Every structure is written in structure tokens, then in C-alpha cells.
Structure 1
Amino acid sequence: MSAPVRVLVCDDQALIRTGFSTIIDSQPDLEVVGECGDGRAAVDLAHRLRPDMVVMDVRMPVLDGIEATRLLAGPGVEDPIKVLVVTTFNLDEYVYEALRAGASGFLLKDAPPAQLLSGIRTVATGAALLAPEVTRRLVGRYAARIRPAEDKTGDVPLTPRELEVLRLIANGLSNSEIAATLVISQETVKTYVSRILTKLDLRDRVQAVVYAYRRGLVT
């Protein structure tokens, strides 16, 4: 059997921390290696314990979850640690900023236990936890901010078909929806997505969405 996914839980509410930890530790393939109540402690513990991922609250004292995420998973961080953000508010500004800071996805705190566990496993595998319908709402609300005026649309090292797939990703389509739109197989879509992420040096679909909007590839 493979080693369990090692998880650090960070939330300033002790009851939520305990609840998350109890749910996670109930699974044979998951293990809580530490708990903390603020972002600074999360950064320090993560550097010391080297978990596979951090379940991170957004609003916390000392250092908030956004800055903690940037320190653990942001651009330029050597050996980054995956971060799954949890929040009370659906798609609020803090969640958007956390995604830009390097988080691999987010969940609401009132999500059922099965969704939390599925989200942890999804992020642990290197995938992004951002459902297509959530992507559509996210970019619809923050498109103007994601696309700064100084960014250019040129010099994108993708083929025309890869650009087409990237635009569909940025518009919130799932792999199956992209396959249906382009009349290709889902396996072919997966291949295109992998090439896009590799060529653009992006970690996941979340970063691909932000990239597309910052480059003005979608409106």
C-alpha cells in the first residue's frame, strides 16, 4: 500500500479544526500530521513537517490564509506545498486572491465530509479543485481584475487548437464539454490540457484560467 497523504489543518476555530482532523484521520489513505490556528503557524509547521498538502482557512489572525498560501505555494517558491483553501463565503474576494496566491482549489466549510475528502484527494494528486460552474462564476466576477492592462495577447507558445482548448477551459468547460464542443475524445482533450500546462509552465487548470484572462485570450 502507498503511504497516506499527509495533511496539515489550519483554521482559527478549534471546533472546525477538530472536525476536519477527525474526518480526515478516519480515512486509511489520509493522515493529519499537525494542526494550527493562524497562517504564520501554518507556514512554520509546513516547513518543519513537510506535509503533502495544507487545508487552509482564509481569515485568520497573525497571518491570513492568502499570505500563508503565497509563502507555501506561490510563484518562485522552491518545493511548494499544495494548498486547499476552505472558506465560509462562496467565491468572495479572499478566495479569488488565494487562488492567485497559489492555492490548488477551494471548498466551502459547510461542504459534506465526502466532498472534503474527495477534494483533499483531488488536490493531492496534483489536480485543481475548481468545478467548471465555479470557474464560470469566478471569471465572470473578476475578469477585469484578472486581466491587467499591461499584459499582451501575443507571444503565447500554443498551437491554434491548443489556444482553442485553453479558451474553452477559461470559459469553464469540463473535459467532457470540451470534447463535445470540438468533437474529439476526452482522452484527446486530456492530452491537449497536459500540453498546455507544460508549455505555459502552469500547475493546473486554475492557473490556466488566470493565464488566459491575463493575456486577454477570452473576454
Structure 2
Amino acid sequence: MRLFVKGCVVAGLGCVWTIALSGCSLARKNDPQRPLVDKIRPAPVGSFGPGATERVPPPESEACTLGTARQCYAHALAFASGQGGQKDFIQAVALLSKACDGRVEEACRTLSLRMKRPERLSPSPKRSEGGRSGTGPTDADDFARLRCRLVEPGVLRGCEVVFPLMAGSRRARVLESVSSYRYALPTFDGAAFESDYTLTVDLDSL
């Protein structure tokens, strides 16, 4: 099975690792004051548990709107630095994502400089993660999108195929293939966290 993977920590929109947040920007354009659910869905290491089906929700951070994005950025920095005894990288990452989506360029830069996206360790990816090459899947039938939990020690749990609809036997083959993937967890300032994770699998050779 030939595989192409695009990795993102998300809650259904955007790819934070490349700060490509056009989907969320469209949502804001339609309703600029609508509070957004965290797109980055991090949780402290160990919070998802060892079970393959256990799905403990990640913590929610405060609601942010386009008008309060800069305040969210300031709160994110406070959580990242521990100002006031509140050091919390999980909240910092979530709020930085929201502030970046709210067009605070400093928040986007902070994410780019201080956060490291997950790295697939094995099996070795055939193409680099984080974006499609010109030879990546282009037709709807060429790829499947999966939503999983990326948990300690770098394995995927509770994966679901969210696109496209497919027969049970084919879905089982896809899930079996990604179950062998191993990752280095994402980090912020070197601190690892577990997260929701979306990946795209090339199905050409199935």
C-alpha cells in the first residue's frame, strides 16, 4: 500500500503545522463574532489512556472571536511563560491557534517557532508530511482522511475514516495499515502533548 500522509492536529479545520487556516477564516468571514472551537486539540500526556477506544475529550480553552484575538494571544503568552503561576502549554497552544486564526501574525510566528509538529518515525514516510507534493492524490477516490488520537508512546488510537465512505473490508485495510505508524509527539517549547490528529492516506495501490 503506497501512502501519502498529511499530518495535522485539528478539530476538523485547518492544518496548524503549516498555519494554513483558510477554512476557519471562511467561518469567521461568515460570522466574525462566532466563538471557535479549538482547532488544535491538545491534551496532557496520558490523558487519553491506553485503550484503543477510550476517547477522553481534550480540554477546551476560552472562546475567542476576531475582536478578542489579540487578548487571546496575550493570554496564550501568559500560559506559556507561567506568568501568575499558570504555566500551561496545552492552553497556550490552543489559544495561539485561535489568535493566529484571528489574524494576529505574532501568534502565527510563535506557533511556527516554538511548536514542533508530530514526526512519523516508522514506517518511513514515502513523502514528507505537512503538505502535498505535485504527485500526491488529487481525485476523491485516491485518498482517505482519518481522524485519530495521537497518544503516548507515539501511536494512533481510536482512528475513524471520515472521508470517503468505503466498504468495510477496505476501511479495515486502511485502519490496519495506519495502526503500524509510530510518531514523535508534537511539542511546545520541548514539552510533548497528546492530541487529536488528522491524516490523509493515499489509496492508489489498494
Band the TM-score falls in, shorter-chain normalisation: under 0.3
Q: Which has the higher contact order (CA 8 A, sep 6+)?
A: 2
Larger fraction in helix? 1
Please state which structure has a larger fraction of its residues in strand: 2
Structure 1 length-normalised TM: 0.27
TM-score of the pair, normalised by structure 2? 0.28
